[in-house]
Structure 1
Amino acid sequence: MTTHVDEKIYGKVMELHLNGTLTKEDYARFVPDTEELIRQHDKIRMLVIMDDFHGWDAGALWEDIKWDAKHFNHVERIAIVGDERWQKWMTGFCQPFTTATVQYFERDHLPEARAWLGD
Structure 2
Amino acid sequence: MALLKHGISIGIERYGDDDFFVAFKAIGTLTHHDYEMMVPVLESALTGVKDPDIFALVDVTELDGLELQAAWDDLKLGVKHIRHFEKIAIVGKTTLQEVLAKLANWFTPAEVRFFVDNGDAVAWLKD
Both structures adopt the same fold (TM-score exceeding 0.5)? yes
Shift of residue 33 of structure 1? 2.4
- In structure 2, relative to structure 1, the CA distance for the partners of 1:44 and 1:38 (3 Å cut) is farther
- Calculate percent identity across the aligned residue pairs: 32
Contact 2:32 2:70 in 1 (8 A): yes
Deviations 1:17-41 (A, max 9, x none): 1111111111111112222344436
Q: Which amino acid aligns with 1:6?
A: S
Deviations 1:73-115 (A, max 9, x none): 1100000001111111110121233211000001xx2111111
Q: 1:81 aligns with which of 74, 79, 91?
A: 91
**Higher-Rg member (1/2):** 2
TM-score normalised by structure 2 residue count:
0.83
Q: Which has the higher helix share?
A: 1
Pairwise CA RMSD of aligned residues? 1.6
TM-score normalised by structure 1 residue count:
0.87
**SS, match of residue 96 in structure 1:** helix
Contact 1:38 1:44 in 2 (8 A): no
- In structure 2, relative to structure 1, the CA distance for the partners of 1:96 and 1:33 (3 Å cut) is farther
Partner of 1:6: 9
Gaps of 5+ in 1: none
